[in-house]
């Protein structure tokens, strides 16, 4: 199933209890960060919005840093479109706040990352796909590892970032892996639309899980309701449950 209409991000999505039951019956092949990131090289994490990097692969970033790899975080947009028409969060103010949250999350994660703020318009990555691919390729070296969202993640920015990142990684001789983020929401493993045959699971120890939990708590703009519009949090508990597992899953 890879039509756009099958990937709506709405409602509460597939509950974590469904994923856990499915994972117990279909354990994913285990892998280690050392198998996907070379200590002498760089790990590039390409995040469409500030928080995607932490939700998807905070533990892997920590483990790669411990191995000695240099960590590069590409903040493609500033996420300024998450609160449309909000008196509390005008777009320019939200862009700066979400950037600050992402920087603080890296600090809490204790990952010495270099963060590149690309300022592509939130919700407008697709028209910038070629530019993004060329921008990334200028900084990639053979043997580096690139992680970007799943190309069927369900959010147009995520899917555009995935395509651009894969193109840049392939052209640069890098290892490329996809990370589902909104995919955990729209996909239903019982319906067969999760690509289990390409998935690997990387275990997080208690320290990594705790640091990830702490880092996620910095994203107050996403975790708190907006009293000025009455809108619910962007990241409610049912979404956090899917991000706080003891594994992180990548697609080869
Ligand atoms: Zn996102």
- Calculate how far, in angstroms, residue 237's C-alpha sits from the geometric centre of ligand 1: 17
- Calculate how far, in angstroms, residue 155's C-alpha sits from the geometric centre of ligand 1: 7
**Residues with beta carbon < 5 A to ion ligand 1?**
48-49, 52
Which residues, 6 or more positions from 75, have their beta carbon under 8 angstroms from its beta carbon?
47, 50, 53, 99, 102, 115, 116, 117, 118
- Calculate how far, in angstroms, residue 111's C-alpha sits from the geometric centre of ligand 1: 20
pLDDT surpassing 80 at residue 251: yes
Domains, the chain, ordered by start: 12-251 (3.40.50.10320)
pLDDT surpassing 50 at residue 3: no
- Calculate how far, in angstroms, residue 98's C-alpha sits from the geometric centre of ligand 1: 12
Q: What digits encode the pLDDT tens for the residues 178-210?
A: 999 999 999 999 998 999 999 999 999 999 999
pLDDT at 6: 65
Q: What is the pTM of this model?
A: 0.96
Structure tokens at 250: 């990548």
Task: Give the integer Cα–Cα distance in Å for 40 and 229.
Answer: 48
Beta bridge partners, 199, equal 251
- Calculate how far, in angstroms, residue 153's C-alpha sits from the geometric centre of ligand 1: 9
pLDDT surpassing 50 at residue 5: no
- Calculate how far, in angstroms, residue 102's C-alpha sits from the geometric centre of ligand 1: 12
Q: Please state the φ and ψ torsions of residue 43, each to the nearest 5 degrees.
A: -105, 120
Q: What digits encode the pLDDT tens for the residues 33-73?
A: 999 999 999 999 999 999 999 999 999 999 999 999 999 99
Average pLDDT of the chain is 95
Q: What digits encode the pLDDT tens for the residues 95-125?
A: 999 999 999 999 999 999 999 999 999 999 9
- Calculate how far, in angstroms, residue 159's C-alpha sits from the geometric centre of ligand 1: 10
């Amino acid at each position: 199933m890879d039509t756009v209409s099958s990937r709506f991000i709405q409602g509460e999505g597939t509950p974590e209890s469904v994923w856990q039951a499915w994972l117990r019956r279909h354990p994913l092949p285990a892998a280690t960060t050392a198998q996907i990131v070379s200590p002498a090289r760089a790990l590039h994490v390409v995040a469409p919005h500030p928080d995607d990097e932490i939700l998807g692969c905070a533990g892997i970033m920590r483990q790669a840093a411990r191995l000695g790899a240099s960590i590069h975080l590409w903040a493609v947009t500033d996420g300024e479109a998450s609160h449309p028409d909000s008196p509390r969060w005008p777009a320019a103010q939200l862009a700066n706040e979400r950037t600050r949250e992402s920087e603080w999350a890296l600090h809490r994660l204790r990952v010495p990352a270099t963060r590149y703020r690309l300022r592509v318009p939130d919700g407008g990555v697709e028209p910038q796909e070629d530019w993004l691919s060329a921008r990334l390729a200028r900084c990639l070296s053979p043997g580096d590892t690139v992680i970007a969202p799943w190309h069927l993640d369900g959010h147009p920015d995520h899917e555009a970032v995935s395509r651009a990142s894969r193109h840049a990684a392939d052209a640069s001789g890098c290892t490329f892996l996809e990370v589902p983020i909104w995919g955990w929401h729209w996909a239903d493993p019982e319906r067969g639309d999760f690509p289990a045959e390409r998935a690997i699971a990387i275990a997080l120890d208690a320290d990594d899980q705790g640091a990830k939990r702490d880092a996620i708590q910095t994203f107050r703009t996403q975790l708190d309701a907006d009293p000025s519009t009455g809108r619910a949090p962007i990241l409610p508990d049912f979404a956090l449950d899917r991000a706080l597992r003891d594994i992180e899953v990548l697609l080869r």
